Structure 1
Amino acid sequence: MTYQHERVSRLAAVLCAASSLAACATVTRGSEDAWVVNSEPSGAKVETTNGHQCPATPCAIKMKRKSEFTATITKPGFKPATVQVTHKTAGAGAAGVAGNVLVGGVIGLGVDMYTGASQDLVPNPVTVTLEPES
């Protein structure tokens, strides 16, 4: 094998390794997460502005990590409560982004940003104390 061929082979191996690490957070964390809701008292209904719901707390709803929504928690005899939910870059998500940057995975960085894999829903979990109606 000539020096030129050996050099091309090494470059191809490095590029294959880098592309396999692209989208580190997407691979390790996924683009969805369980958003957990607890209430006191339990048994409250949860509805979100992005169309998700659960019939009774405690519950977990599978959501896109980069979701932003308002959740309304209701139970007969109690005042409704609302919670604003957004997202932020997570510690593990930041590690995935850093991995993309270090390996040169610009494509992976773009994929992670697009899928939201580097994000976490906040607050999560949510715990709400419902107030009795007057």
Structure 2
Amino acid sequence: MLKQLLSITTLVLLSIAFTGCATITRGTEEALVVESDPAGADVKLSNGMVGKTPTSFMVKRKTNLVVTVSKAGYQTATINVNSQIAQSGGAAMAGNIIFGGVIGAAVDSSNGATRELKPNPVKVKLNRL
């Protein structure tokens, strides 16, 4: 009886340990890098973050963004950055299904840990007006 209880306890603990694999290994945020030619351009993300190129922002992996790059004397550029399933995120999800079960898969898919932003880095060549 004690051996059976120990086996069940071990299985439960292993299931808990393997839930959220991608969340643990990849995190829910990613550094989005923005570069421009010429450098020193203003950058504004659709989530309200701002900076000057070259720059990077820590953003949620599961969020689509619009990046606007502008500089006086140059045409403004707008780039869509999309959240998509990452190759390594898919592997982590498969590991969840095999080892962590439904709970781990649900956690990773809901918080964006299995996703990545594309394009990243965002490279913009601004055209003179």
Give the TM bin, normalised by the shorter chain. Answer: over 0.9
Q: Once superposed, which parts of structure 1, at least 4 consecutive aligned residues long, lie more than 3 Å away?
A: none
RMSD, aligned α-carbons: 0.9
| Map of 1:65 onto structure 2 | 61
Q: How does 1:1-134 map to 2 (within 5 A)?
A: 4-54=1-51, 56-133=52-129
TM-score (norm 1): 0.92
Task: Provide the identity percentage.
Answer: 39
In the aligned structure 2, how far is the partner of 1:61 from the partner of 1:105? 33
Contact 1:37-1:57 within 8 A present in 2 as well: yes
- Gapped runs of 5+ residues in structure 2? none
3-state SS of the aligned residue for 2:75?
Answer: coil
In the aligned structure 2, how far is the partner of 1:75 from the partner of 1:105? 50
Report how far residue 14 of structure 1 moved: 1.3
- Gapped runs of 5+ residues in structure 1? none
Report how far residue 105 of structure 1 moved: 2.2
Structure of greater Rg: 1
